[in-house]
Amino acid sequence: MSQSPKLLRRLLRAKDHMDGAPHEEWPIHRLAEVSAVSAAHFTREFKKAFGVPPHRYLLTRRIERATALLRDTNLPITEIAIQTGWSSLGTFGRIFRDITGGSPGELRARARSVPHVGVHMPECFMRNAHRPNLNIAVLEKRRIEASGKLELQSN
């Protein structure tokens, strides 16, 4: 059964809030309040509507913003972590590496070593091209990688 247009508008309202302020804390109860539904209903319906849970959606936005700041500014990595909603530099670095495959410093170095070919490309296309793939949870990704490493060690 598809979702009602009224519910989708409410879910989009919460999504817009996350897009507008990804650096803020967005616990499920706050997002549910924005959508005027219960927390459990919000979580289920958000995933149904957008394909990912709300936390993973927010994580994607934070990593996208951090990547853009690393690529386009000279801000210190600590400042970028704070501006994108991380309270711990260690957590930011670990999750950033898990999602992108490299540390924030490595991404910055790579971005600066390659001339900007897509300077005239619209920002929405650039974001889509560099959007992190969070179809599986970060912790699940770590488990899969760990089991792969264990299998390699036993061979």
116 CB-side CA count, 13 A: 11
Judge if 72 and 39 occupy the same domain.
no
Higher-pLDDT residue of 123 and 68 is 68
Judge if 64 and 134 occupy the same domain.
yes
Which pLDDT score, from 0 to 100, does residue 38 have? Answer: 96
Judge if 62 and 28 occupy the same domain.
no
Judge if 125 and 84 occupy the same domain.
yes
Residues 38-57, mean pLDDT to the nearest whole number: 95
pLDDT over threshold 60, residue 155: no
pLDDT over threshold 50, residue 151: no
Residue 102 to residue 97: CA distance in whole angstroms = 5
Token couple for 44? 């289920």
Whole-number percent of the chain with pLDDT over 70: 77
Residue 134 to residue 98: CA distance in whole angstroms = 10
How many independent structural domains does the chain possess?
2
Judge if 19 and 70 occupy the same domain.
no
pLDDT range class, residue 126, cuts 50, 70, 90 = low
Q: Are 49 and 9 in contact (CB under 8 A)?
A: no
Judge if 64 and 45 occupy the same domain.
no
79 phi and psi angles, rounded to 5 deg? -65, -40
pLDDT over threshold 90, residue 133: no
Judge if 114 and 75 occupy the same domain.
yes
Token couple for 131? 């959007």
Judge if 102 and 123 occupy the same domain.
yes
Three-state secondary-structure class, residue 27? coil
| CATH, residue 95 | 1.10.10
Note down the domain range covering 27.
5-51
Judge if 69 and 116 occupy the same domain.
yes
Residues 37-43, mean pLDDT to the nearest whole number: 96
Token couple for 110? 């790579």
Judge if 145 and 70 occupy the same domain.
yes
User: What is each CA distance from 90 to 47, 78, 94, 105, 125, in whole angstroms?
Assistant: 28, 10, 6, 13, 30
Who contacts 125 (Cβ-Cβ below 8 Å, separation ≥6)? 118
Which pLDDT score, from 0 to 100, does residue 128 have? Answer: 61
